[in-house]
């Protein structure tokens, strides 16, 4: 194993104490004899080990390492480092290793004996992992920018991915916005050898085609212990802070983290809250009440103060320009400022409620399964729980469940089944028309690019036709959708920028495996969404009314920000010049849409933010 100098090519990768940049070149046995090379521009290297024709590179956190040592029969002093431990484990279990791992990590193995390299990403993709296949070697890193800084990796932008971003289509979870760089999908092991590259999912709460092993009534009582364990794992990462909103997820994390920190003699967590002035998103009384009840030091920051008044959208566009992928959330600059304030106060790890909405709630798409099985009683319970938990009129909830999420999709699926059996060519023509229609008129003025987008859309369509449960199809989206991987990668980059780690107990693999298989009526226990945590919080903070709380959303505030600030950001950027030059956008047609949508508060004005973030990002790259 050799350490290679940084190659003078491409943008400088962002580096902080929260995540150093490195690149490992894995010479692929059968393609080349080159040994593993490690380039660490900032001098901070990942954990490595080598023996018996195998080389291991590990970055991240491995849970339950002591259990793994015991399984291997190691003495206390043996395999002190994680990479050495994983090397021993790989030599023992080979292809069976990934299923035994849990944590937040990127793991690369070069096996000369078997003539292959393996790249393993943690079950939920909390830790980023990217690679560039350069023929004789595969370059891997936790940083896209670190890969692009290597002279062996071309920095060309993936034009089709950029265009599909504007269409809200992400057909390939492995794809990034650069042609030469791909991601290792969450929960997957990627294998590279003389025959090429392939990957398989190694972590799956409910594998397709297998019967669901629902959590039993007795097992449901394990939830508090599993959540405690998930929070403890986050506390192990360093001095804790908590992003404290007024919602059920972050408040439950804050309460448990405070109790566990006290029991273990750890520092009292620092509560940090972003305050939205908009009435629909205002949670300051609850945020203050929780922090006071828990005895937490509490730092509060108004969103306008965090980024400057009337400057949120411009700050978000500027941040997008500095990132390896276009920024997803326009709130990121404000939360980044909050994280930096935490770091200045000694916080090393910020706990959040991320994942609670995905894993504690019941997707409304289950209405299709209920209608298909004539489960009208279940549908009524679902409607009641949603009415009690969300700020949506009851009539609208029923309309969505019966038609939008229920009968409409069932009819479409039934029509597709009939046409597939009787007129497959007609079905293909219909699909092609839909894909072409969904390609917005101001996207892809280049005919060649438009044709490519149509083919990408057609290739992705088959994924919609899986005959399994609609409920589990939607849950799988929370595991496999590219936006989920990109969200966690963006969070990781926020940590790099702020010099902290972000940790989310609700995306702990063990807890997610449990919640994935928890019956719907248990998730809605008490007739309200997130019933598993609602009763606990109502008991802990009786004066704050968590049993009856409805979800708060910043939707109207986001719309007002786009309406008031979009034109100013457009002027600062000078229009969509880079997107137009790439052939991704018809500048004149989009300009008309842009200013109409901004002025009128168009229901699809979120496309304004998409384009601004993408333009700022692309301009920095080209």
* Tokens read off for 278: 């908009």
Q: What CATH code is carried by the domain that includes residue 314?
A: 3.40.50.620
- Do residues 455 and 535 share a domain? no
For residue 11, pLDDT beyond 70: no
Q: Calculate what percentage of the chain has a pLDDT beyond 90.
A: 72
Distances in Å between the Cα of 384 and the Cα atoms of 231, 388, 401, 517, 542 are 31, 6, 11, 22, 23
Classify residue 288: in a domain, yes or no: yes
Is it the case that residue 13 has pLDDT exceeding 50? no
The per-residue pLDDT for 469 is: 82
Same domain, 325 and 342: yes
Out of 150, 174, 201, pick the residue that ends a domain. Answer: 201
Is it the case that residue 85 has pLDDT exceeding 80? yes
3-class state of residue 206 by DSSP: coil
pLDDT tens sequence across 458-475: 887 765 555 568 899 889
Q: Across the chain, what does the average pLDDT equal?
A: 90
Q: Are 273 and 292 in contact (CB under 8 A)?
A: no
Going by C-alpha positions, the residue among 617, 345, 369 that lies closest to residue 499 is: 345
Dig out the tokens for 67 from the structure.
């259990």
Question: What are 58's strand-pairing partners?
Answer: 47, 107
pLDDT in tens, 428-463: 888 888 888 889 999 999 999 999 999 999 887 765
pLDDT confidence of residue 43: 59
Q: Which of 506, 521, 552 is the last residue of a domain?
A: 552
Q: How many angstroms separate the CA atoms of 57 and 36, rounded?
A: 10
How much is the pLDDT for 468?
67
Instruction: Measure the CA–CA gap between 43 and 616, rounded to whole angstroms.
Output: 31
Answer yes or no: is 506 within a domain. Answer: yes
CATH number at residue 22: 3.60.20.10
Q: Residue 379 CA to chain centroid, in angstroms?
A: 30
Tally of structural domains, the chain? 4
Interatomic CA distance for residues 411 and 414, integer angstroms: 5
Q: Give every CB contact of residue 413 below 8 A, 6+ residues apart in sequence.
A: 465
| Interior/surface letters 477-497, b for 16+ CB within 10 angstroms, e for the rest | ebbbebebbbebbbbbbbbbb
User: For residues 304 and 278, what is the distance between their CA atoms, to the nearest angstrom?
Assistant: 11
Residues 32 and 113 both lie in one domain: yes
Residue 207 lies in a domain: no
Answer yes or no: do 26 and 152 share one domain: yes
pLDDT in tens, 535-572: 889 888 988 888 888 888 888 888 889 989 999 999 99
What tokens were used for 1? 């194993």
Same domain, 78 and 26: yes
Last residue of a domain, one of 156, 174, 201: 201
Confidence of residue 41 (pLDDT cuts 50, 70, 90): low
Residue 567 DSSP symbol: H
Same domain, 563 and 601: yes
Residue pointed to by tokens 């480092």: 81
Q: Report which secondary-structure segment, H or E, holds 273.
A: strand 270-275
SS3 state of residue 93: helix
Among residues 153, 176, 155, 180, the alpha carbon closest in space to that of 164 is found at: 176
pLDDT at 180 over 80: yes
Q: What's the rounded mean pLDDT across residues 159-169?
A: 96
Q: Does 508 share its domain with 398?
A: no
**Do residue 372 and residue 445 come from a single domain?**
yes
CA distance linking residue 464 with residue 481, whole number of Å: 13
457: CB partners within 8 A, 6+ apart:
169, 171, 435, 438, 439
Q: Is residue 407 part of a domain?
A: yes
Q: What is the mean pLDDT of residues 305-334?
A: 94
Q: How far is residue 567 from each of residues 311, 427, 483, 606, measured CA to CA in Å?
A: 12, 42, 27, 14
Looking at the fold, whether 576 and 525 belong to one and the same domain comes out as no
479 assigned to some structural domain: no
Q: Are residues 60 and 164 in the same domain?
A: yes
**393 with 460, same domain?**
yes
**Same domain flag for 470 and 489:** no
Domain enclosing residue 66, as ranges:
2-201
Q: pLDDT tier at 33 (50, 70, 90 boundaries)?
A: low
Give the number of residues written for the chain.
622
Q: Is residue 468 part of a domain?
A: yes
**Residue 32 resides in a domain:** yes
> Residue 419: inside a domain, yes or no?
yes
CA dihedral sign of residues 580, 583, 588, 594: negative
Going through 122-225 in order, the beta strands assigned E by DSSP cover 130-133, 137-141, 182-183, 188-193, 196-201
């Amino acid at each position: 194993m050799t350490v290679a100098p940084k190659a003078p090519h491409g943008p400088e990768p962002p580096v902080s104490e929260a995540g150093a940049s490195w690149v490992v070149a894995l010479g692929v046995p059968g393609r080349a004899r080159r040994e593993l090379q490690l380039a660490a521009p900032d001098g901070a290297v990942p954990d490595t080990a080598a023996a018996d024709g195998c080389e291991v590179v590990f970055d991240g956190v491995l849970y339950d390492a002591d259990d793994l040592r015991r399984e291997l029969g190691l003495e206390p002093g043996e395999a002190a480092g994680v990479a050495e431990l994983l090397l021993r484990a790989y030599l023992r279990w080979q292809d069976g290793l990934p299923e035994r791992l849990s944590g937040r990590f990127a793991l690369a193995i070069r096996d000369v004996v078997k003539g292959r390299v393996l790249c393993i990403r943690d079950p939920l993709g909390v830790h980023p992992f990217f690679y560039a296949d350069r023929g004789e070697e595969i370059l891997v890193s936790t940083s896209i920018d670190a890969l692009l800084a290597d002279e062996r990796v071309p920095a060309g932008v993936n034009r089709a991915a950029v265009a599909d971003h504007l269409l809200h289509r992400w057909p390939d979870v492995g794809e990034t916005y650069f042609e030469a760089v791909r991601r290792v999908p969450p929960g997957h092991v990627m294998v590279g050898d003389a025959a090429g590259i392939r990957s398989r999912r190694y972590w799956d709460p409910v594998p397709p085609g297998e019967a669901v092993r629902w959590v039993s009534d007795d097992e449901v009582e394990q939830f508090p212990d599993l959540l405690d364990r998930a929070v403890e794992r986050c506390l192990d990462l360093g001095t804790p802070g908590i992003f404290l909103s007024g919602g059920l997820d972050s408040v439950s994390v804050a309460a448990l983290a405070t109790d566990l920190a006290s029991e273990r003699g750890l520092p009292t967590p620092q509560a940090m809250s972003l305050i939205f002035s908009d009435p629909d998103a205002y949670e300051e009384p609850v945020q203050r009440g929780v922090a006071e009840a828990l005895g937490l030091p509490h730092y509060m920051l108004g969103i306008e103060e965090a980024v400057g008044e009337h400057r949120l959208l411009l700050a978000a566009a500027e941040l997008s320009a500095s990132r390896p992928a276009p920024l997803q959330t326009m709130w990121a600059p404000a939360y980044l400022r909050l994280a930096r304030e935490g770091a200045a106060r000694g916080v090393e790890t910020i706990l959040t409620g991320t994942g609670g909405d995905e894993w504690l709630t019941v997707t409304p798409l289950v209405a299709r399964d209920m209608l298909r099985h004539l489960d009208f009683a279940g549908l009524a319970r679902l409607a009641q729980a949603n009415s009690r938990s969300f700020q949506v009129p009851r009539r609208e909830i029923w309309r969505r469940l019966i038609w939008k999420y229920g009968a409409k999709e069932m009819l479409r699926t039934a029509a597709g089944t009939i046409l597939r059996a009787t007129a497959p060519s007609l079905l293909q023509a219909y699909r092609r028309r839909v894909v072409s229609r969904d390609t917005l008129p101001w996207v892809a003025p280049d005919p060649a690019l438009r044709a490519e987008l149509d083919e990408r859309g057609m290739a992705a369509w088959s994924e919609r036709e899986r005959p399994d449960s609609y409920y589990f199809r939607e849950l799988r989206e929370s595991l496999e959708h590219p936006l989920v991987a990109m969200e966690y990668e963006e969070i990781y980059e926020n940590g790099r920028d702020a010099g902290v780690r972000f940790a989310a107990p609700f995306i702990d693999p063990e807890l997610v495996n449990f919640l994935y298989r928890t019956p719907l009526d248990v998730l809605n226990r008490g007739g309200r969404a997130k019933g598993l945590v609602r009763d606990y919080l109502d008991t802990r903070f009786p004066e704050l009314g968590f049993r009856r709380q409805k979800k708060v959303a910043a939707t109207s505030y986001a719309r007002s920000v786009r309406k008031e600030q979009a034109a100013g950001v457009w002027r600062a950027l000078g229009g969509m010049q880079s997107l137009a030059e790439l052939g991704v956008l018809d500048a004149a047609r989009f300009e008309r849409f842009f200013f109409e949508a901004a002025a009128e508060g168009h229901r699809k004005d979120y496309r304004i933010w998409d384009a601004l973030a993408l333009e700022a990002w692309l301009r920095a790259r080209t």
